[in-house]
Structure 1
């Protein structure tokens, strides 16, 4: 296993860190925005890989709601139950992408 030199090859930490900062900003923006149909669009754009899987699941089912967004926990609660795991999965994907970038030969 090749270890990066100090101060170099830190994309595995930088990419998820920047992503988490963006996700936190989008959550606060969502939580303070008017509760209309477009308010949650930013949440789904930030978690695009997870939202795409949810849409794929919905294409096979006959439901009229987004299957990954629960119901019964209040407006912010429903979105938080979707958003926190979706951000975690997407941050993990960013970590894996950063690790792949770090392992590239010079």
Structure 2
């Protein structure tokens, strides 16, 4: 697997698509600290596709001292994302860009109807 990290300068965040077998949780948290990021975006996937498993994201969360955002590609991973207790959740839509998911209103919004 080839890793990819994108420095989102306008957000001062790092989007990491490297997956747990390429960069473990401790290394990911360390890289975010070194880069001076204000926020770390961790894609959830694991067995379902590129990204980290919920367990790996929890490990990153336990190490990281910066706000954490999880990126999802489906509603099936939403329960796992909530276990991580991120400050932000991005829902990656098909054919579009990232859609910010408001946790406070997620149960009443269009995403709940799609589930």
TM-score of the alignment, normalized to the shorter chain, above 0.5:
no
The answer to which structure, 1 or 2, has the higher relative contact order (CA under 8 A, 6+ apart) is 1
TMscore range, shorter length: under 0.3
Answer 1 or 2: which has greater strand percent: 2
TM-score by length of 2: 0.24
Rg bigger for which structure?
Answer: 1
TM-score by length of 1: 0.25
Answer 1 or 2: which has greater helix percent: 1
